[in-house]
Amino acid sequence: MPIFNIKYILKRIPVVLNAFFNHLTPKMIHGLLIKEIQYKRKVAKKLQDLNWSEINLQINPYSANWSFLYVLLEFLTEKKPKKILELGSGETTKLTYKFVQENPNKTALVLEENKEWYNQLEKKFRTPRFEYLHKPLVKKKVAGHKTTWYSYEFANQKKLFNLIIIDGPTGTYNYSRLGIVKYLTDILHRKDFLIMLDDSKRRGEKQTLKMIKKKLQSEEIDYASIHCYGRKRQTCIFSPNLESFFNQL
């Protein structure tokens, strides 16, 4: 593609403006300027208290941010989910890996689309009960919408996931990461679960969030949800038994 492609630039202007104004809300500004710093301090203290200080979290614009990591770390250590599904790998994986290492009856499945990234991390994430897989993306149609999803089927899963982290595949403008909706109610522990959706302020993730809630409602699965604000917004969808946990965060 030429460096100056006028048609491409004009096509991208509405996308950029939409993303920009999405982040001008009072909650997003407060999250960026105040809450993110507070969450960073809380994560650092928690890691120290747990004697997990060897975990080196390297935050950048493309990684999970501190609000996401704070909620995840609290949930792992306080609620101790038995089975974890992580879509996309990175900073969050450092926490889920350490958690599984230290808890003999816990398991995790992590799917990663990027082969180079997978090759960098695969040697670091080797322990029993922690399955880290490279799964290239394939085109799928979910709920009438075209999307891309991991080349992986959940048919052989013997246990249901208590924690599902949705930070992959790579985001798209429309119905981003929609593939999870196809499998969600078949792999989710219906009475004890947390679904964490990153970047939920973006257009594509907003659409997918609505589809997730619609899917849960269609299966009569009770849930509550909250937004978490830092540098980015995450949405947590959880079973009613976890309401007290989120009220105390």
pLDDT tens digit string along 186-210? 999 999 999 999 999 999 999 999 9
DSSP H helical ranges for 122-202: 180-187
Domains of the chain (ranges; CATH) run 6-247 (3.40.50.150)
pTM of the complete model: 0.89
Residues contacting 228, CB < 8 A, separation 6+ = 67, 68, 71, 234, 235, 236
DSSP H helical ranges for 104-163: 115-121
pLDDT tens digit sequence for 15-59: 555 655 566 787 878 767 788 999 999 999 999 999 999 999 999
Q: Which of 43, 102, 70 is nearest to 246 (CA)?
A: 70
Distance (Å, rounded) from C-alpha 149 to C-alpha 184? 13
Distance (Å, rounded) from C-alpha 91 to C-alpha 80? 19
